[in-house]
Amino acid sequence: MSRLAAKFEELSKSGRKALIPFITAGDPYPEFTVPMMHAMVEAGVDVIELGVPFSDPMADGPVIQRASERALAHKMSLRRTLAIAMEFRRTNQHTPVVLMGYLNPIEAMGYEEFANATARAEVDGILTVDLPPEEGEHCAALLKARDIDPIFLLAPNSSEERIRLMDAIGSGYLYYVSLKGVTGAGHLDTANVKAKLEQLRANTNLPVAIGFGVKDAETAKTIAALGDGVVIGSALISKIEANLDTPAQAKQEIIELLASMRLAMDSNGA
């Protein structure tokens, strides 16, 4: 069983929901990331999504775009992101790590080499924003052969047919993008998310993590009640951006926000 499947099973047994932070590897500088990952684990997160910086992040809003730009200014790359994941894994064997990024760095590395490098780094899942299942079967097969979960996005306008397609090709969890738009945009419409989740549940048994628009403990709690996990990205990266000269402060604020979310989410069913 993959580390992700085991994690979601463990959470399900204890009636808890996954708290999944997203940070961009190498933002604001490369040495920041591994200690930040460990600190997030201490704050109670279950899975870490690590953004692979890309020069043209078409599906991301300005906050994550700028995170990519800051990381790229430090020559961050897919290879160096994998090195960060590997370093994290040396002292943490239990927290699943998912790489989230765009396809071209993988194309440049080559699919086979990418799958091998990902396995060596003991990365658990790969989410490639611009690789829909139609184009991604080959890559998904290479990853699955190495016990790495290919994770796919679902959107509010995804049809039932597409949900079943993701269910067939994806594994680990499905990432439900809870609003139309780029990362960091707008506000969640809880009623819509709830209705969509019912449709998702009817077509897949995979865990569903919900992201886009989760900003604070209150929304995390509300969203956690609807799915199996909550992804929080832009709200964390905003803390980094607000404290570029004081990274220790950024780290502290991120930890506090995640801890407050953990607390709120765990009090949900109680």
Partner 1 sequence: MTEKYTMPDARGHFGPYGGMFVAETLIPPIQELNAAYQRYLDDPDFIAELDKDLQYYVGRPSPLYHAERWSRELGGAQIYLKREDLNHTGSHKINNTVGQALLAKRMGKTRIIAETGAGQHGVATATVAARLGLECVVYMGAVDVARQSLNVYRMKLLGATVVAVESGSKTLKDALNEALRDWVTNVDNTFYIIGTVAGPHPYPAMVRDFQAIIGREAKQQCLDATGRLPDALVACVGGGSNAIGLFYPFIDDASVAMVGVEAAGDGIATGRHSAPLSAGRPGVLHGNRTYLMADDDGEIIETHSISAGLDYPGVGPEHAWLKDTGRAQYVSITDNEALDGFYALTRMEGIIPALESSHAMAYAMKLAPTMRPDQTLIINLSGRGDKDMQTMARREGIEL
The region of 83-91, 92-100, 123-131, 250-258 touching partner 1 under the rule CB under 8 A is 123-131
Torsion of CA 1, 95, 261, 40, to 10 degrees: -170
195 binding partner 1? (CB under 8 A): no
To which residue do tokens 């067939």 refer?
168
138 binding partner 1? (CB under 8 A): no
Spot the catalytic one: 46, 49, 122, 228. 49
CB 24 within 8 A of CB 80: no
Alpha-carbon span 147 to 123, nearest angstrom: 10
Sign of CA dihedral 147, 150, 151, 154: negative
Nearer to partner 1, 77 or 171 (CB): 77
Q: Verify whether residue 147 is a known catalytic residue.
A: no
Spot the catalytic one: 60, 124, 167, 228. 60
30 binding partner 1? (CB under 8 A): no
Q: How many other CB atoms are found less than 10 A from the CB of residue 190?
A: 14
Show contacts with partner 1 in window 100-119 (CB under 8 A): 102-109
Alpha-carbon span 247 to 232, nearest angstrom: 19
Q: Verify whether residue 137 is a known catalytic residue.
A: no
Nearer to partner 1, 77 or 95 (CB): 77
User: Which spans of this chain sit near partner 1 (rule: CB under 8 A)?
Assistant: 54-59, 61-62, 65, 69, 72, 77-79, 102-109, 129-132, 134-135, 152-159, 162, 177, 180-182, 185
